[in-house]
Amino acid sequence: MKRPDVPLTELPFVRQFIRLCANGAAMGFHERNGGNLSYWLSPEDLALLPDLNCSGPPVPLEAEVSGMGGEYFLLTASGSFMRSVPLDPEKELCLIRLEQDARSYRVVWGLSEGGRPTSELESHLLNFSSRAGMPGRACRVMYHAHPAHVIALSFLLPLDEKTITKALWTSMIECPFLFPEGVGVVPAMIPGGAQIGTLTSELIRTHDAVLWAHHGLFCCGRSFDDAFGLMETIDKAAQIYLIVEGSSLKRVNRIEDSLLYEIAEASGGALNTRLI
């Protein structure tokens, strides 16, 4: 049932979206206009939307987002500062609807002073498409941030999934439970567009978190709390790794492989033991 009397910015998913932007900024994850966020509207969300005018021309995408034609996404705008989102959501956000061919989109709300969706639009949409095609793995939230400790880690460790994942798993004991599939790794490359988006969307099939070397991290989740919680957990584990490895005190304890194998058993085989 439609509720056209409720302003869009008061709808639950929009409020949660805005809250994540504010929390990410408070964590220091978003210098200047760094980072971006997207949300794939569910049928229940769509039922709450007021009637929206979709009169703008279709804007072509750099990549075809297979299987997502006709779907709606709420996104941060290109150049928007996360900390400014709560001040003027209608200017800093946009709601888009993909055309049926999933090769272009129309803006149906937001961008009140012009502009376009995030420069990482293709990454976000291709990621949703990757996960939507997998039974039980669909995600509603894609979150990209620039957390300093994870970025620092990408300068200190070889850029392979096993090394990065094990450094994180063995820095905080909850980590193997929270991202048992490990962290995917994308080498340093030009941000924005289809190339980095395609690579990320392949890794996001099998990982809830993907590191962009020397740049940041992409996390996905069924809910805003899942995606944000993963971002803060991984950055905190990276911070602990840097504190321990950078300390002048001699390390006397560690999370041993035997404990990781115990966790693998306790988690019913979810842990990717190839990464131990």
Residues of the shown chain interacting with ligand 2HA in the complex, contacts defined by CB under 6 A:
33-36, 119-120, 144, 191
DSSP 199-263: HHHHHHTT-SEEEETTTEEEEEESSHHHHHHHHHHHHHHHHHHHHHHH-SSPP-----HHHHHHH
119 touches, from Zn ion, ligand 2HA, none (C-beta below 5 to 8 Å by class): ligand 2HA
117 touching Zn ion, by CB under 5 A = no
33 touches, from ligand 2HA, Zn ion, none (C-beta below 5 to 8 Å by class): ligand 2HA
Residue pair 172/233 in contact by the 8 Å Cβ criterion: yes
Cα separation values, 75 from 164, 202, 251, Å: 29, 21, 44
Q: From the CB of 191, what's the least distance to ligand 2HA, in Å?
A: 4
Q: Which residue is nearest to Zn ion (CB)?
A: 216
Q: Which is nearer to ligand 2HA, 119 or 223 (CB)?
A: 119
Amino acid at 97: R
Within 8 A by CB and 6+ apart from 213, the residues are 154, 159, 185, 186, 187, 188
Strand partners, 186: 212
Which of these is catalytic: 71, 92, 120, 122? 120
36 touches, from ligand 2HA, Zn ion, none (C-beta below 5 to 8 Å by class): ligand 2HA
d(CA 104, CA 11): 26
182 touches, from ligand 2HA, Zn ion, none (C-beta below 5 to 8 Å by class): none
Q: From the CB of 120, what's the least distance to ligand 2HA, in Å?
A: 5
Structure tokens at 248: 């002048």
Q: Which is nearer to ligand 2HA, 197 or 221 (CB)?
A: 197
Q: ∠147-151-156 over CA atoms, to 5°?
A: 150
Structure tokens at 181: 């599939």
Task: Tell me if residue 64 is catalytic.
Answer: no
86 touches, from Zn ion, ligand 2HA, none (C-beta below 5 to 8 Å by class): none
By CB under 5 A, the residues from 191 to 230 that bind Zn ion are 216
Q: From the CB of 31, what's the least distance to ligand 2HA, in Å?
A: 9
Q: From the CB of 80, what's the least distance to ligand 2HA, in Å?
A: 9
Q: From the CB of 10, what's the least distance to ligand 2HA, in Å?
A: 27
Return the SS3 of 105: strand
Which of the residues are catalytic? 120
Q: Which stretches of the chain bind Zn ion, using CB under 5 A?
A: 216
